[in-house]
């Protein structure tokens, strides 16, 4: 899937999950595919950048995000989200509470990449 790919920033391997400009159905589909990428990596190793710029959300899409966030949690070292302006706060809080993870948000991909590579 071309919306999930590894890139390198500051010498660090970062998994980019590009939800930008996706419909709610696309967000759900990408989310349901994500664990297969993350669980191939060693525990506590994945640096994940999720870009939600201008994405659309539905209850089903948020449920898929929540499932993915829990499923791949053991493999994540750190994550960063950008473009969350279109994500209703209630959905964000629901994902955060369900996954028992901190989900820091940033204004730009560059800020998020710097945070992940630090």
How high is the pLDDT of residue 7? 97
Give, for all 118 residues of the chain, the pLDDT tens digit: 699 999 999 999 999 999 999 999 999 999 999 999 999 999 999 999 999 999 999 999 999 999 999 888 899 999 999 999 999 999 999 999 999 888 999 999 999 999 999 9
CATH number of the domain within which 15 lies: 3.30.750.24
Q: What is the DSSP string of 37-83?
A: HHTTSPTT-EEEEEE-TT----HHHHHHHHHHHHHTGGGEEEEEEE-
Pairwise CA distance, residues 23 & 6, whole Å: 22
113: containing domain: 4-117
DSSP-assigned beta bridge partners for residue 107? none
How many structural domains does the chain have?
Answer: 1
Q: How far apart are CA 79 and CA 73, in angstroms?
A: 10
The strand pairing partners of 45, in sequence order, are none
């Amino acid at each position: 899937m071309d919306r999930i790919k590894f890139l390198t920033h500051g010498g660090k391997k970062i998994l980019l999950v590009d939800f930008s400009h996706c419909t709610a159905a696309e967000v759900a589909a990408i989310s349901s595919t994500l664990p297969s990428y993350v669980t191939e990596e060693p525990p506590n190793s994945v640096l994940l950048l999720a870009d939600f710029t201008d994405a659309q959300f539905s209850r089903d899409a948020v449920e898929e995000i929540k499932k993915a966030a829990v499923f791949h949690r053991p493999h994540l070292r750190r994550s960063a989200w950008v473009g969350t302006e279109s994500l209703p706060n209630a959905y964000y809080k629901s994902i955060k509470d369900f996954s028992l993870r901190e989900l820091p948000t940033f204004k730009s991909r560059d800020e998020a990449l710097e945070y992940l590579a630090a």
